[in-house]
Amino acid sequence: MSDTESDQRARLLSEIRRIVGDAQADGGIVFTAYHAASLFAAYPGAHFSVGRIVDEIALAATASGVAVEIARADGADHSPT
């Protein structure tokens, strides 16, 4: 794994922790479909599939005790209303 790939993965995982932390602080829910596609596009050098990103979000949310809705990222707007 190159330094760039390692850095991208670290940044991606850090962003996932931030998303989960924000949801925890707000008492909210993490919606994987809402975040996974944008994270995939933002960190292409991490070489994570969208499915892997969904798994990482779900894992981080579950470990933090944050409610998580697990859904595939299909490009639709799944923003919470």
Question: Is the CB of residue 73 less than 8 Å from the CB of residue 33?
Answer: yes
Which tens digits make up the pLDDT trace of 14-44? Answer: 999 999 999 999 999 999 988 999 999 999 9
Which tens digits make up the pLDDT trace of 62-80? Answer: 999 999 999 865 554 444 4
Report, in angstroms and rounded to the nearest whole number, the Rg of the chain calculated over CA atoms: 12
Q: For residue 2, what pLDDT is reported?
A: 74
Buried b (16+ CB within 10 A) or exposed e, 48-74: bebeebbebbbebbeeeebebeeeebe
Question: Is the CB of residue 1 less than 8 Å from the CB of residue 47?
Answer: no
Tokens of 18: 């931030």
